[in-house]
Amino acid sequence: MFSRRHPFLFFILALSSIFFATILGISTLIFIGTRDSEFNMGEKVGVVDVSGIITDSKEIVHNIKEHRDDEAIKAIVLRIDSPGGAVGPSQEIYREIRKTIGKKKIIASMGTVAASGGYYIAAATDGIMANPGTITGSIGVIIGFTNFEEILQKIGLYPVVVKSGKYKDIGSPVRKMTEKERKLLQAFVDNTHMQFVNAVSKGRKMEIAKVKEIADGRIFTGEMAKNLGLVDRLGNIEDAIEWAGRIGGIKGKISAVYSKKADSSFFDYFIESSAKKLASRVINPEFYASYILTPPL
């Protein structure tokens, strides 16, 4: 009856239903047919993604723990594409990795960039694999300030500050930094830097003196880092998954399970993963341009 009264609307609804059913069917086949599908049976390698600037550790720590507690997962790959970030979250991830390597093997796989805080967490793993052109290193700490005092004076603005102690407004952009304040901040940076050096020394089993020689903030390619002992092998993420699976005791075919976002439902994860796989089969760009931001550790 509805089709007779509104033939055009009925046609649109029917066509839309067929379209969405087709997309869902293709996505399901792609999702199930790929190696990182959660429907794969047998022993697996869990992959934890660390991408972007490291400002929070909660989701990454959660994913590491989830893979550690899953008996079907025999090893973990930490896929790092990060220029670094904040000290605290990097240290929390580092500690969770160190707590895990006694139970399961963890391999770091470096993508485009794994520098500063990105290298900090990689150093905690059982082994590091990078691409020859991966940007890594940047073992250092930086704090930057900008002074607007002269600009404010030119436009007639004079800030008034009320503080509880002489160092409470240290780094203020409205006045010059004193020599005592500079020394205080330098001591702070030096202490944090030594924490970084010690973490690399412990994780990589390198002498502190050797780490100090290259811990001056410089960056390296993956190939350079391997020659310096900061990286173990050269290869892509598939090579890292294979490596992790074998040292984790997997004899046959290795399946990879990628962590889904902690704040998303399984349906969201399903749709997002399927869409990415579908796009990867349709889109084949000739090249990508990469822009690198290296923030403080």
The secondary structure of 77-126 as a DSSP string is EEEEEE--B-HHHHHHHHHHHHHHTTTSEEEEEEEEEEETHHHHHHTTSS
CA distance 52 to 50: 7
**Strand bridging mode 73-82 / 105-115:** parallel
| Exposed/middle/buried for residue 297 (C-beta within 10 Å: 0-12, 13-18, 19+) | buried
Tell me the helices (H) and strands (E) count for the chain, helix number first. 11, 8
* Catalytic residue chosen out of the listed positions 37, 82, 116, 255: 116
Q: Is 116 a catalytic residue?
A: yes
Active-site annotation holds for 168: yes
Catalytic residue among 103, 163, 166, 168: 168
Distance CA 204, CA 186 (A): 27
Q: Residue 254 in contact with residue 245, Cβ under 8 Å?
A: yes
Report residue 254: phi and psi, to 5°: -105, 125
Positions marked active-site: 116, 168
